[in-house]
């Protein structure tokens, strides 16, 4: 693994991040070049992390739906967020035909619903999802959407962590992640050595003194995933960003946050 140290401490692998991802991946997978049903042509992400771990994420994505099956799979997109810790605005969303004609989503095509992981859970969840239902879809059409997500209250105060993962059996045309952060927060970055490679560069610091990086990725020849593969995450390229240096530190943060909630509410 390639580890990039940002800040004062050396970078350490935070295995917690293996299960955390701001990207909502589809559960459908292309088998080979002849069976590609869709392409993710563009994914541009800009993130700024503040000193207290709060953050702002701007996300823009373009997907080509190549077949009727692709339309069935990805004719709608879902963006999930925590209503108590985050705010999320859909900035733009539309369908574009190969001839350039565009069809914007009206209010009825953007629905705020309970998140899938909340509907069937026995525990309380404050997660909701915006479901974007794209109109006038035909094979070859593209879906475009852009949103802005503000995490005003980090899960662990003073900390930020996120993972961006790219399954090897999905076509990615142009992926870029531009990360900036206040130098007061010690972010650590891990870039996998899986192929295709993710490239990175340190950019010139911002006028406000923020530390800046750019990560880029493309995968124009998706490969099938063997049925015997234990976990797709074992072979997928990824970028992890975290201010939590170890699993032990994460356990301490979780214990501190959950301690009061684990106490009995009354004596028996």
Question: Is 267 a domain residue?
Answer: no
- Phi, psi (5° rounding) for residue 239? -125, 130
Residue with tokens 């953007």: 110
Structurally, how many domains does the chain consist of? 1
Sheet of strand 2-5, all strands in order from the earlier edge strand to the far edge:
2-5, 188-191, 238-242, 161-165
Instruction: Report the mean per-residue pLDDT for the chain.
Output: 86
Q: What angle do CA 249, 239, 144 make, to 5 degrees?
A: 125
Question: Is 200 a domain residue?
Answer: yes
Question: Is 250 a domain residue?
Answer: yes
CA 265, 152, 78, 43: dihedral to nearest 10 degrees?
-150
Question: Is 146 a domain residue?
Answer: yes
Question: Is 53 a domain residue?
Answer: yes
Determine the pLDDT at residue 268.
Answer: 57
Question: Is 224 a domain residue?
Answer: yes
Instruction: Centre a 10 Å sphere on the Cβ of residue 141 and count the other Cβ atoms it contains.
Output: 22
Q: Are strands 38-49 and 172-181 parallel, antiparallel or unpaired?
A: parallel
pLDDT < 50 positions in the chain:
5-33
Question: pTM (2 decimals)?
Answer: 0.83
127, 119 Cβ separation under 8 angstroms: no
Determine the pLDDT at residue 235.
Answer: 87
Determine the pLDDT at residue 33.
Answer: 44
Question: Is 268 a domain residue?
Answer: no
Boundaries of domain holding 84: 2-261
Q: Check which CATH number belongs to the domain holding 95 and give it.
A: 2.60.40.3140
């Amino acid at each position: 693994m390639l580890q990039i140290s940002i800040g004062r401490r050396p970078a350490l692998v935070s295995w917690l991040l293996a299960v955390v991802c701001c990207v909502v991946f589809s559960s459908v997978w292309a088998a080979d070049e002849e069976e590609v049903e869709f392409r993710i042509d563009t994914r541009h992400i800009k993130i700024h992390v503040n000193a207290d771990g709060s953050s702002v994420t701007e996300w823009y994505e373009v997907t080509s739906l190549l077949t009727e099956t692709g339309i069935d799979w990805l004719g709608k997109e879902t963006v999930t967020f925590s209503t108590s810790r985050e705010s999320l605005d859909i900035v733009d969303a539309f369908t574009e035909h190969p001839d350039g004609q565009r069809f914007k989503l009206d209010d009825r095509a953007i629905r705020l619903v309970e998140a899938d992981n909340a509907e069937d859970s026995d525990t309380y969840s404050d997660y909701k999802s915006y479901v974007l239902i794209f109109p006038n879809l035909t094979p070859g059409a593209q879906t475009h959407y852009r949103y802005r997500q503000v995490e005003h209250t980090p899960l662990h105060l003073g900390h930020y962590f996120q993972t961006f993962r790219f399954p090897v059996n999905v076509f990615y045309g142009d992926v870029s992640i531009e990360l900036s952060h206040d130098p007061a927060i010690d972010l650590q970055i891990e870039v996998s050595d899986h192929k295709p490679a993710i490239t990175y560069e340190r950019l010139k610091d911002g006028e406000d003194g923020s530390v800046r990086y750019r990560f880029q990725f493309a995968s124009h020849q998706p490969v099938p995933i063997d049925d015997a593969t234990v976990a797709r995450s074992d072979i997928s390229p990824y970028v992890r960003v975290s201010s939590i240096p170890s699993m032990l530190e994460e356990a301490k943060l979780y214990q501190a946050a959950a301690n009061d909630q684990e106490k009995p509410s009354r004596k028996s």
